[in-house]
Amino acid sequence: MLQVTMTTDLDSGLCPIRSVLAKVTGKWQSLIVFSLEDGPLRFSAVKRMVGDITQRVLTENLRSLERDGLITRTVDPGPPVAVSYELTPLGYELVDVLKPLALWAEENFAAVSESRASHDRANS
């Protein structure tokens, strides 16, 4: 079994599972990483691919993914200035790990939805 129990805040901050998974399994981070799977995209293209994300939230998440080494940001001075984002080798490795989870979610969505509805009916 993976070591997931931490007894102090210091231990929690040093736990690789908590530190990394909290960042890469969030809704937006995963969707952004998936949007870049087929190659580099400009900001507006990433926003269109993800859809329901605000410009501010997208900017914050792109910065975070860049900080974690999962994407690179390239500025073409233009004119006009063009900024694009691309997965790093570590980012592509993450896609390989997350894709089975995303496929599982897609395949099991109906069963999970029915379970939720059943639970809600029983507990309302």
Closest CA to 74 of 62, 64, 56, 89: 62
Q: Which strands, in side-by-side order, build the sheet including 71-76?
A: 41-42, 82-87, 71-76
Q: At what angle do helices 55-67 and 27-35 cross, to 10 degrees?
A: 80
Please report the pLDDT score of residue 54 as a whole number. 96
pLDDT in tens, 104-119: 999 999 999 999 999 9
Per-residue pLDDT tens over the stretch 4-35: 565 666 666 677 777 788 777 888 999 999 99
Check residue 8 and give its pLDDT: 66
pLDDT given for residue 20 in this prediction: 82
78: pLDDT strictly greater than 90:
no
Give residue 12's identity as a one-letter amino acid code: S
Complete DSSP assignment for 100-113: HHHHHHHHHHHHHH
- Domains of the chain, with CATH numbers? 9-122 (1.10.10.10)
pTM equals 0.83
Can you tell me whether residue 25 is helix, strand or coil? Answer: coil
Neighbours of 88 (CB within 10 A): 16
